[in-house]
């Protein structure tokens, strides 16, 4: 999402950069071929949508520029566009070099009106590298240049980004100061949409500082500005923010704001924004112990998240439902929901969210007096915290390595001018490399040990899951066998109509295997057996304690596992096996398989293969 937002900003900046200073294709009295001008226009139009094609065109234009003695302003524009294209291709270091060339050319040509925008683009790359020091430096340069030229729009844009960096660093007082100044500029410019965003960000900053009074003032101001601009999406954002701020002090006011937000979001908001409102409203009802309404809202979040799809929303909804189940005394259901959310967060590598879920799982076990389960949950929680600490160290090393690569390239450029200075820097760099090599080796050894330990634990967990499933499967098969025998023996107990009906179904399923047909529906089964749809469902619930879908899916999963066990199916893809077993949808197959066995099909298949080899 952040990358998409940055690309949109780049698009706007590219258009404004060329709109305010059109390239002149004349140099030293020589008019360059007009085809070159067409190349610039064409590259500007396609650089964001087709970076590869745009970069080819820009390279041709740069060659023409060299031959035609173009002015530095034109070359600055071309390097800027090339930097944008490389950024879209995730070639961040090359993009940074092009923006620096654009900065150099613009400075040489005295095109100071371009400098602020280029500084902002350079700061974005340093933000990606987590180099906040350099990002802040370039944003401050953009502010200084814009201030000297009186270009308030560029200055406000740079100050907004600078405030965001300060917020990310936890420097909330500095962030508030910068964003308040930016708000004054946007008010002079009459940019209502930017004012809405700024007021909301300032409100959140003061909330982080614990100043709820000022936070509410800016939240209300954001709402007033959004209403003045008739900006319905921003009105919804402002109402949601007000609801969040009122949650702790006045639940009734918070509910009013949330409900007003939902009303606006019916036709004017993205599903992601609606999810936030529904989830926060669910939290409010949970605070008030209205668990039924809270559960309904979490269910809505789950449905919308699944439809988008938005995995993080699904995890949030599962967490909320687990909290409701725990509060309602349904401990097993709460644990199952937390486990499902944890598995999903783990598969998607949502580490922070996974840590929060592990914490909730522990307190659920602890508060329900399950000491053994709580001890295991606590162990899992601590293990996850330790692993995240190791990952943070690894990321820090990667960041240092990236910063080092950038510094080394800059030193290579300056080496021709300061040969003696380069020798001194080279000695220092060699020392840094040695330290980084030792640090990398230590971290690599720690990571290898951690992943080996984690792999052993996962393998043991999967083995236990497989044993549990096989035991459950054996018990169910024995129950089915007893049902078939007891209802067919002459001297056996008299079978109830429901048990007789279920016996017929099992007999038919084991004889003709109709479940292999993905189009088989419950009404077709009822019609074949000569009973009503309701009677069939009632019998399944009474005898099997199951729905039709779960009943037929158990047979299909068992069919898949039987094919997994046969060596002749080793070369056949899991998707094809699932289709042969009657599953019409790959997604539903994976979900059903994991729900019944507790494992993904691929892992189950791998464990069977290892068991067979042993």
Among residues 50, 47, 126, the alpha carbon closest in space to that of 79 is found at 47
Whether residue 461 is predicted with pLDDT greater than 70 in this model: the reply is yes
pLDDT for 322 equals 84
> For the chain, what is the mean pLDDT?
78
Q: What angle do CA 83, 88, 91 make, to 5 degrees?
A: 65
Select the highest-mean-pLDDT range: 302-316, 486-500, 553-567.
Answer: 553-567
Whether residue 6 is predicted with pLDDT greater than 50 in this model: the reply is no
Domains of the chain (ranges plus CATH)?
495-613 (1.10.10.60)
Percentage with pLDDT > 90 across the chain: 2
Q: Which helix (H) or strand (E) holds 31?
A: strand 30-31
pLDDT for 557 equals 92
Q: Which is more confidently placed, 535 or 232?
A: 535
Q: How many CA atoms lie within 13 A of 516 on its CB side?
A: 14
pLDDT band at 7 (very low <50, low <70, confident <90, very high): very low
- pLDDT tens-place string over residues 566-602: 888 888 899 999 998 889 888 999 999 999 888 899 8
Contact 44, 18 (CB under 8 A): yes
- pLDDT tens-place string over residues 508-545: 888 888 888 888 888 888 888 888 888 888 888 888 88
| Torsion angles phi and psi, residue 493, rounded to 5 | -65, 150
Q: Which is more confidently placed, 490 or 304?
A: 304
Q: Render the burial of 94-115: b for 16+ CB within 10 Å, e for the rest.
A: bbbbbbbbbbebbeeeebebbb
Full-model pTM:
0.50
Q: Determine the Cα–Cα distance for residues 43 and 53; give it in Å rounded to an integer.
A: 8
pLDDT for 58 equals 81
Mean pLDDT over 425-448 rounds to 86
Spell out the long-range contacts of 135-140 with Cβ–Cβ below 8 A and sequence spacing 24 or more: 135/165, 136/162, 136/165, 139/165
Q: Determine the Cα–Cα distance for residues 315 and 515; give it in Å rounded to an integer.
A: 32
Ranges 3-7, 394-398, 423-427: which has the least confidence = 3-7
pLDDT band at 150 (very low <50, low <70, confident <90, very high): confident
User: CA torsion angle for 461, 465, 468, 469 (degrees, to 10)?
Assistant: -170
Whether residue 64 is predicted with pLDDT greater than 60 in this model: the reply is yes
Mean pLDDT over 200-209 rounds to 87
Beta partners for 26? 31
In this structure, the number of other CB atoms found within 10 A of the CB of residue 522 comes to 16
pLDDT for 413 equals 57
Spell out the long-range contacts of 193-197 with Cβ–Cβ below 8 A and sequence spacing 24 or more: 193/229, 193/231, 193/234, 194/156, 194/160, 195/222, 195/225, 196/222, 196/225, 196/226, 196/229, 196/231, 196/234, 196/237, 196/238, 197/160, 197/234
pLDDT for 268 equals 56
Whether residue 314 is predicted with pLDDT greater than 60 in this model: the reply is yes
Q: Which is more confidently placed, 518 or 375?
A: 518
pLDDT band at 94 (very low <50, low <70, confident <90, very high): confident
Under DSSP, the state recorded for 458 is: H
Q: Which is more confidently placed, 431 or 23?
A: 431
The region, left, alpha or beta by phi > 0 then psi within -120 to 50, assigned to residue 545 is left
Mean pLDDT over 390-410 rounds to 58
User: Which token pair is 574?
Assistant: 């899991």
Q: Determine the Cα–Cα distance for residues 17 and 184; give it in Å rounded to an integer.
A: 24
**Which are the contacts of 341, defined by CB distance < 8 A and separation ≥ 6?**
315, 318, 319, 322, 357
User: CA torsion angle for 193, 195, 201, 207 (degrees, to 10)?
Assistant: -130
Ranges 80-89, 422-431, 584-593, 602-611: which has the least confidence = 422-431
pLDDT band at 392 (very low <50, low <70, confident <90, very high): low
In this structure, the number of other CB atoms found within 10 A of the CB of residue 237 comes to 24
Question: Helix H segments across 169-290?
Answer: 172-189, 192-208, 212-228, 232-246, 251-268, 271-287
Contact 112, 76 (CB under 8 A): no
Mean pLDDT over 446-472 rounds to 83
């Amino acid at each position: 999402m952040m990358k998409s937002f940055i690309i949109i900003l780049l698009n706007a900046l590219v258009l404004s950069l060329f709109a305010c200073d059109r390239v002149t294709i004349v140099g030293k009295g020589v008019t360059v071929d007009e085809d070159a001008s067409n190349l610039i226009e064409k590259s500007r139009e396609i650089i964001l949508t087709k970076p590869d094609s745009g970069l080819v065109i820009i390279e041709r234009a740069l060659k023409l520029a060299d031959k035609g003695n173009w002015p530095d302003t034109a070359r600055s524009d071309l390097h800027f566009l090339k930097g944008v294209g490389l950024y879209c291709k995730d070639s961040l270091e090359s993009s940074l070099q092009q923006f620096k060339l654009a900065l150099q050319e613009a400075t040489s040509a005295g095109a100071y009106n371009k400098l602020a925008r280029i500084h902002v683009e350079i700061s974005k790359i340093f933000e990606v590298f987590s180099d906040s020091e350099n990002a802040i430096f370039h944003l401050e340069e953009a502010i200084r240049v814009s201030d000297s030229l009186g270009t308030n729009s560029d200055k406000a844009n740079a100050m907004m980004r600078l405030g965001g960096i300060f917020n990310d660093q936890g420097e909330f007082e500095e962030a508030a100061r910068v964003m308040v100044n930016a708000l004054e500029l946007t008010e002079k410019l009459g940019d209502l949409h930017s004012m809405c965003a700024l007021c909301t960000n300032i409100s959140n900053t003061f909330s982080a500082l614990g100043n709820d009074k000022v936070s509410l003032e800016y939240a209300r101001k954001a709402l007033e500005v959004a209403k003045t601009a008739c900006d319905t999406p921003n009105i919804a954002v402002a109402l949601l923010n007000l609801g969040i701020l009122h949650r702790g002090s006045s639940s009734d006011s918070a509910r009013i704001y949330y409900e007003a937000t939902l009303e606006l979001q019916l036709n004017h908001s993205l599903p992601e924004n609606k999810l936030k409102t529904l989830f926060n409203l669910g939290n409010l009802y949970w605070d008030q112990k209205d668990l039924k309404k809270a559960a309904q809202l979490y269910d809505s979040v789950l449905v919308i998240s699944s439809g988008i799809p938005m995995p993080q929303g699904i995890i949030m909804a599962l967490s909320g439902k687990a909290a409701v189940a725990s509060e309602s005394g349904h401990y097993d259901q709460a644990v199952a929901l937390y486990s499902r959310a944890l598995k999903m967060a783990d598969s998607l590598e949502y580490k922070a969210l996974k840590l929060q879920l592990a914490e909730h799982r522990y307190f659920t076990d602890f508060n329900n007096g399950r000491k053994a389960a709580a001890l295991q949950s606590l162990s899992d929680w601590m293990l996850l915290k330790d692993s995240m600490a190791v990952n943070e160290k690894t990321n820090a090393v990667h960041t240092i390595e990236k910063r080092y690569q950038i510094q080394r390239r800059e030193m290579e450029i300056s080496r021709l001018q300061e040969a003696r200075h380069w020798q001194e820097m080279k000695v220092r760099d060699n020392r840094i490399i040695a330290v980084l090599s030792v640090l990398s080796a230590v971290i690599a050894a720690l990571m290898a040990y951690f992943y080996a330990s984690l792999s052993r634990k996962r393998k043991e967990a999967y083995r236990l899951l497989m044993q549990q499933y096989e035991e459950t499967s054996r018990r169910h098969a024995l129950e089915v066998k007893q049902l078939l025998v007891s209802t067919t023996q002459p001297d056996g107990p008299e079978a109830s109509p429901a048990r007789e009906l279920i016996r017929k179904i099992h007999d038919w399923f084991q004889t003709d295997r109709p479940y292999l047909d993905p189009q088989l529906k419950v009404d077709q089964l009822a019609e074949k057996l000569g009973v009503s749809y309701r009677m069939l469902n009632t019998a399944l619930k009474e005898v099997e304690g199951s729905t039709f879908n779960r009943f037929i899916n158990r047979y299909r999963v068992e069919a898949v596992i039987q094919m997994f066990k046969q060596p002749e199916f080793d070369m056949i893809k899991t998707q094809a096996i699932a289709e042969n077993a009657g599953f019409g949808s790959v997604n539903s197959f994976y979900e059903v398989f994991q729900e019944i066995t507790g494992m993904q099909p691929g892992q189950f298949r791998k464990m069977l293969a290892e068991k067979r080899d042993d």
